[in-house]
Amino acid sequence: MCSFSQKKGKGISKRTTKRPSLLGIAFIMLSALPVTKVYASGVNLEGLGIRALSMGSAFIGLADDASAVFWNPAGLSQLKGSGYTFGLYSMTAKVDAKNGVTNNGLTDPNTPYDPNKGDLFPGFYPSEPSNFDDDEELWLGAATMPSFVAFKNFGRYTIGGGLYGLGGAYSSYNDKITDPVTDAEIEADVFAVLGLMSANGSIGYQVTDKFSVGLGVDLILSLWRGDVKKDYIAPNPSLNYDYDAQIRKWGYGFQGNFGMLYKFNEQWSVGATYRTGTDIKLKGDTRVSLKGGSAIDPFKTDEKSDGHTDFVYGASWGIGVAYKPTNKLTFTYDYRENDWSDFNWPGSNATFDKQGKFLQNVDGDPDWKRSHGYSVGTEYKYNSTITLRAGYTNEFSGVPSEFENPATITLGDLQIANVGMGIQYETWKVDVLVGTMWGGTGRGVDHRCYDFGISFMRML
């Protein structure tokens, strides 16, 4: 570690030095995984299928279209013939916070730098402000996911599958502040993308006229890119430094999805699902460089190493019920839980083939918890052409509130309200969705998101 004493009018002079082994991948981007479109419970998107989303993601007990491969594979058994669906979902996020992104110092006992809790930029001098000022962000189209799903019925069996997004993250942050002691200009930049895509294969089997079971397998592909840059430019050149971190990793894992569906009669049906989750080993290279004037000599480095991060995608389960009081009207309700207790945020878990000053192996616990939520939805067939839908979701967070800042938008408790419409034209059906998501945390991070989706389905 290295600590500094302040001298009025003369900047900062070096006092003591010590090897900075604490930095670890920690520095790296901890949150180079800032998430904008997620459930409060972790890194999940709202789900699959514009119709299901417009019904508030309450679809486990209904699951009567191709999106059943995600919600409940047992529901595939209800489908007849064959068909396919392709669509696009996009969300814009607006974030407001009482404080900007943290810039905590390595040696500050009051606000210590802790990447396991969401800190991103390290402060090398005690006089640096502990936060950047920019506390409002607007990310247009931050989460945009395409999807394609197809199915074919073989009597009691129906097979289905496709490609779609399970979750994701996006961040683009830039801000500039001033060190009040040295008059240095401090500029910070972040660009980070995490993608979780599924290649799914599923089968639904009608055991009896009332009872069906289903099984699905997801090949989950994860891509992770992060770029973190911080420049400290002072009138005294010896204080200048340039911190730059880059990460490029990818990996894959397999997840099982089990479901069952029971139809009491034409009005009532119930469903249940369980997903196993998976442990994805993200492999790739990471680079960290720190250049600058003589005052930063103890920290200067240029490191690059291959390595891996264990990314745990937690198990989940859900139950749902659907009620059709008439042929035109449907009500749905789902309850879900996600187990994020073993979740490894990439900034808290990393192993490097070649360790250095900054690239240190780290195995932390971000202390995420189980989370739960419920959804309600409705669908009304106005006529043979038009169907109207609406839905609501309430998610209770499993993310510690101290993890929240504008660059780590994992969010606390949140609510989602969506409306949608389906239009039938011969063998084609078009579904559209508009909605909003809002919520906040105990750390004063509030957000509102606006989403839009459209999909096209054709029966063959």
Is residue 446 within 8 A of residue 96, CB to CB? The reply is yes
The predicted structure's pLDDT at residue 438: 81
pLDDT-derived band at 31 (thresholds 50, 70, 90) equals very low
Residues 222/337/77/419 CA torsion (nearest 10 deg): -90
Q: Within 13 A of 21's CA, how many CA atoms are on the CB side?
A: 5
- Least confident range from 11-20, 47-56, 420-429: namely 11-20
Mean pLDDT of the chain: 82
- The CA distance from 356 to 89, in Å, is 42
Is residue 319 within 8 A of residue 44, CB to CB? The reply is no
Region 109-137: mean pLDDT is 72
Q: Is 209 exposed, middle or buried (0-12, 13-18, 19+ CB in 10 A)?
A: exposed
- The CA distance from 201 to 217, in Å, is 6
DSSP H or E stretch at residue 52: helix 50-54
Q: 41 versus 371: which is more confidently predicted? A: 371
Is the pLDDT confidence value at 113 over 70? no
Question: Tokens standing for 270?
Answer: 């119930």
Q: Residue with structure tokens 């969010």?
A: 411
- The CA distance from 78 to 7, in Å, is 76
pLDDT-derived band at 97 (thresholds 50, 70, 90) equals low
**Which residue segments constitute the domains of the chain, with CATH numbers given?**
36-459 (2.40.160.60)
**What does residue 441 show for φ and ψ, rounded to 5 degrees?**
-135, 170
Q: 70 versus 340: which is more confidently predicted? A: 70
The predicted structure's pLDDT at residue 60: 97
**Segment 385-435, tens digit of pLDDT:** 999 999 999 988 776 655 555 555 455 677 899 999 999 998 899 999 999
Question: Tokens standing for 281?
Answer: 């080993």
Strands (DSSP E) contained in 114-210 are 136-154, 157-178, 185-206
The predicted structure's pLDDT at residue 345: 64
**Segment 340-363, tens digit of pLDDT:** 887 766 667 788 999 888 788 888
- Least confident range from 11-25, 101-115, 372-386: namely 11-25
Region 51-72: mean pLDDT is 96
Region 434-448: mean pLDDT is 73
Q: Across 139-153, 192-206, 320-334, 442-456, which has the greatest mean pLDDT?
A: 320-334
Q: Across 146-155, 183-192, 299-308, which has the greatest mean pLDDT?
A: 146-155
Q: Which amino acid is at 258?
A: F
pLDDT-derived band at 106 (thresholds 50, 70, 90) equals low
- The CA distance from 251 to 401, in Å, is 29
Q: Is 63 exposed, middle or buried (0-12, 13-18, 19+ CB in 10 A)?
A: buried
Is the pLDDT confidence value at 287 over 80? yes
The predicted structure's pLDDT at residue 73: 98
- Least confident range from 35-39, 303-307, 335-339, 414-418: namely 35-39
The predicted structure's pLDDT at residue 6: 31
- The CA distance from 208 to 86, in Å, is 31
Q: Across 98-107, 295-304, 357-366, which has the greatest mean pLDDT?
A: 295-304
Percent pLDDT > 70 in the chain is 78
Region 201-209: mean pLDDT is 97
Question: Tokens standing for 175?
Answer: 């801000």
- The secondary structure of 439-458 as a DSSP string is EE-TTSEEEEEEEEEEEEEE
- Least confident range from 69-78, 136-145, 313-322, 385-394: namely 136-145
The predicted structure's pLDDT at residue 36: 36
The predicted structure's pLDDT at residue 114: 62
4 to each of 118, 125, 454, how far by Cα in Å? 24, 7, 56
Q: 40 versus 241: which is more confidently predicted? A: 241
208 secondary structure, DSSP code: S
Question: Tokens standing for 303?
Answer: 């490191």
Partner residues linked to 316 by β-bridges: 275, 338
- What's the predicted TM-score (pTM) here? 0.82
- The CA distance from 307 to 38, in Å, is 27
Sign, CA dihedral 21-106-348-284, equals negative
The predicted structure's pLDDT at residue 190: 83
